[in-house]
Structure 1
Amino acid sequence: MREAFQQAEVIERIRQQLSSVIDPEIGRGIVEMGLIYLIEAGPAGDVHIMMTTTTKGCPASAFLADAVRACAGSVIGVMNVDVELTYDPPWNPSMMAP
């Protein structure tokens, strides 16, 4: 039970850190834009993040994935970060926070 609570805390801290990552083309945060689909944290500090970009051919894809990896990796307790880019489901503007 405590382990699940700690993982939830780590996930929330990661989400807060990722809020500082700004999409360079749109100028809004990637969390606010709905580009982060999933954050999973394992008990050994392994983190898996599934994200997307606004388009499949987005020229900022590598930049954004690197920024996500760096931000998540800066969270205490995180040892390894795997970032997976996916386009299923495809992103659309309705995924953005109001």
Structure 2
Amino acid sequence: MSDTIDVTALGEKIVRVLKTIYDPEIPVDIYELGLIYDVYVNEDMDVKILMTLTTPNCPVAETLPLEVEEKVKSLNEVKSAIVEITFDPPWTQELMSEEARLELGML
């Protein structure tokens, strides 16, 4: 039971960290932008993040995933972190949160 709580708490901490990372071209964090598809945390505190980019030719395609990985690894509870990029499904504006759409004047 305590392991489940620890994994859940770590997942919430990871989301808070992800919300500090911004797409350099759009003034919205990558979580609210809908670039994070999933965050997996196992009982050993290994983390895998499945994310996408706004386009395959995104100028931060090489640096953004590394930034995500490094910031997540910086959490004391995280044993290891891997970021996997996918374009299936491709990112669309519909993946943005209501907060992100409001920030970008789309509501």
TM tier relative to shorter chain: over 0.9
Letter paired with 1:63: T
* Aligned partner letter, 2:64: L
The Cα of 1:2 is off from its aligned counterpart by: 1.8
After superposition, the CA RMSD in angstroms is: 1.0
Larger Rg: 2
- Larger RCO (alpha carbons 8 Å, 6+ apart): 1
Structure-to-structure mapping, 1:1-98, within 5 angstroms: 1-98=1-98
Give the Cα–Cα distance (whole angstroms) in 2 for the partners of residues 2 and 45 of structure 1. 13
Runs in 1 of length 4+ with deviation above 3 angstroms? Answer: none
Q: Which runs of 5+ in 2 are unaligned?
A: 99-107
Shift of 1:64: 1.0
Q: 3-state SS of the aligned residue for 1:61?
A: coil
| TM-score normalised per structure 2 | 0.86
Counterpart code for 1:83: V
Distance 1:9 1:53 in 2: 26
Structure 1 unaligned segments of length 5 or more: list them: none
Q: TM-score, normalised by structure 1?
A: 0.94
Question: Percent of pairs identical after alignment?
Answer: 36
**Whole-angstrom distance in 2 between the partners of 1:97 and 1:32:** 5
Alpha-carbon shift at residue 7 of structure 1 (Å) = 0.7
C-alpha displacement at 1:27, in angstroms? 2.3
